[in-house]
Amino acid sequence: MKTGAVTVYCIVNTHLISPAQRDRMWLTVLYSCTGGAALLYALYRWVIPAAVQYHGGLALIWHDVIVERMLDTLTQSTRPQRILDAVQKNATRGDPRSVVKAIDHFCRNKEWAMNVGDEKGCILDSVVSEVNPATVLELGTYCGYSTVRIASLLPPHAKLITLEFNPDFAAIARQVIAWAGLEDKVQLVEGASGDWIPKMKEQFGVKTFDLVFLDHWKNSYLPDTKLMEECSLLRKGSVLLADNVICPGAPDYLEFVRSSPRYKSQYFKSHLEYTKVEDGLEKSVFLG
């Protein structure tokens, strides 16, 4: 009885309110929805990104899991596809620096991505220029950002081989590299690094690498380094440059190259791409 009485009372009272009261009620609902939407947008666009700027774990969870999945669902596209779209809309075809600039602008102002980034990218550029390598191996292509940075600085007739395990990432990277006009300098290979490293000499005619850039799975840094040693792909003076050694981190790799008498290592302190979280690059010269 009590439930029925309440229902009848509510229905009767709905019909008893005046048109002006009904309009005010809908305006209140509209303002509440608008205010709620504005609050959610502010949280998404400014508040949460600012809050996670200084915390590595939270930054990765927010940007690389929550936001990426949400935008993938809303746009029915992937982050690499959105990066490619930004390149094709904003970068000049055949201009590697404009490609790098377009990706950096996209990642700083629209959507974070796991490139080496503009800050650490300058360190990468300086090491490439210092080594002036004739042969380069990149482990982890992703969308081709660091590939473009490296290839654009190589001397004529230099060879850059970049390995990418994910075929979807590789497909996007090929288009980014081509847009930069560097496809003739880069050989992109799909597959696992552990499978391809032993085939380097036979498949690509490489004796040793002057420079190796490690930016793939962090737990693969150490086994792949040892595998390169076993396959004699490192010569005296070969340089290993490893990204993200602090965040997400590669502690076993750092311990190995810093304690081994076969390497002379130097840490370049920086920040996780497009954040204020401490990260850095480890440069390790192979002593033979």
Q: Which residues are annotated as catalytic?
A: 215, 218, 243-244, 273
Q: What is d(CA 257, CA 221) in angstroms, rounded to the nearest whole number? A: 11
Query: ∠113-119-124 over CA atoms, to 5°?
Result: 95
CA dist 14 → 10, 25, 237 (Å): 6, 11, 83
Q: What is d(CA 184, CA 177) in angstroms, rounded to the nearest whole number? A: 9
Q: What is d(CA 31, CA 166) in angstroms, rounded to the nearest whole number? A: 46
Q: Comparing C-alpha atoms, which of 209, 55, 81, 228 is closest to residue 143?
A: 81
Q: What is d(CA 247, CA 21) in angstroms, rounded to the nearest whole number? A: 57
Q: Comparing C-alpha atoms, which of 90, 104, 200, 201 is closest to residue 148?
A: 104
Question: Strands 234-242, 209-214: parallel, antiparallel or unpaired by DSSP?
Answer: parallel
Do 194 and 165 form a contact (C-beta atoms < 8 A)? no
Q: How far apart are the first and last CA of the chain?
A: 90
The amino acid at 280 = G
Q: What is d(CA 244, CA 36) in angstroms, rounded to the nearest whole number? A: 37
Q: What is d(CA 112, CA 68) in angstroms, rounded to the nearest whole number? A: 9
Q: What is d(CA 109, CA 70) in angstroms, rounded to the nearest whole number? A: 17
